[in-house]
Amino acid sequence: MKTRGFVATLFLLAFAVAPSRLLGLPPPPPLYTPTLISPVAGQVLYSGQIVRVEWKPTIHYTWPSWCELEFWLSLDGGRTYTLPITPSLDPNTRFFYWTVPNTPTNAAVLQIRFGCEPVRPEGFYPQTASAFVIANAAGQ
């Protein structure tokens, strides 16, 4: 009886530490750490302006289709991120065009959210080194 319990414990332990491929799960993707290219720090954007938002990851990798990427906007220098500015994007994308909202601030910051659930939970990557300004459109 003790032997059977010991074998069952070893069996369960083996599956607990088995590589994910043996269990039919995909391996976790590498760590994703994006860096915003544009807008750049200190840039003045005007409400209604269409700007190209561009970023680069620190590694080159083709992300699986079940991964996703989102952008959120902070108007208070990165303390809170309350405005989603994209739907879920393909993480292999490197830019999109954004219409700047009518939310004037001297401390706009974008946050990139990336996740590959259930393998890798969503990570939050605030781009505080690239804070920019949102001003009223000319003539307003």
Nearest to 83 by CA among 54, 105, 57: 105
At residue 25, the pLDDT reads: 55
Length of the chain: 140
CA separation, residue 7 to residues 1, 4, 11, 12, 55 (Å): 10, 5, 6, 9, 51
At residue 20, the pLDDT reads: 46
- Assess whether pLDDT exceeds 50 at residue 78: yes
Round to whole Å and give the CA distance between 94 and 105.
Answer: 26
**In sequence order, what are the beta bridge partners of 60?**
none
Buried residues in 122-139 as b, exposed as e (16+ CB within 10 A):
eeebbbeebbbebeeeee
- Assess whether pLDDT exceeds 70 at residue 6: no
Q: What is the pLDDT of residues 84-106, one digit of tens each?
A: 999 999 888 999 999 999 999 99
Buried residues in 62-90 as b, exposed as e (16+ CB within 10 A):
ebeeebbbbbbbbbeebeebeeebbeebe
Q: Which residue has the higher pLDDT, 106 or 137?
A: 106
At residue 140, the pLDDT reads: 58
In order of their start, the domains of the chain are 2-135 (2.60.40.10)
